Amino acid sequence: MANFLLINGPNLNLLGEREPEIYGSTTLADIESALKLAAQGYGHLLDCFHSNAEHELVERIQQAAGQDLASIIINPAALGHTSIALRDALLGSGVPFIEVHISNIFSRETFRHHSYLSDVASGVIVGFGVRGYELALSAAMEYASQ
């Protein structure tokens, strides 16, 4: 049994209503419950956390350091493009993490092309819509069993 943590950053609480042509119609609650079920199906546990506030995300990642987590799956949203604090928190936690972006950030505005997390992530999943979360969980589970 392994423990995983799913973290979603600013504005992802609006999935389903926010720019549906980019992010689709699935809500964050749908994503979280599907991922929890998928993890449970393999005998694992997945905890979920969302915040619009950078400091709350940093605090949750700091807590994660002591929680025997196999991996964090994180969609940092816009903070991926701006936040050295999030990068430092993830590095400081010592927990491997997978970065997810629903949209293909490389086909969008140039300010979305850089992420402060990608070079220190175990892997990055970009542009597969909300299916990217399932792909990340699947990779995280495989990684945990190695």
- Does the protein bind ligand DQA through residue 7 (CB under 6 A)? no
Shorter beta-carbon distance to ligand DQA: residue 39 or 125: 125
Q: How far is the CB of 134 from ligand DQA (least distance, A)?
A: 14
Name the pairing type of β-strands 123-126 and 3-8: unpaired
Binding mask 28-67 for ligand DQA (x = CB under 6 A): ----------------------------------------
What's at 84, amino acid-wise?
Answer: I
Q: How many other C-beta atoms are found inside a 10 Å radius of the C-beta of residue 93? A: 21
CA angle 130–134–136, rounded 5-degree value = 105
116 is catalytic: no
And the tokens for 93?
A: 């936690």
Sites for ligand DQA among residues 77-106 (CB under 6 A): 77-78, 101-103, 105
23 is catalytic: yes
Q: Are 87 and 117 in contact (CB under 8 A)?
A: yes
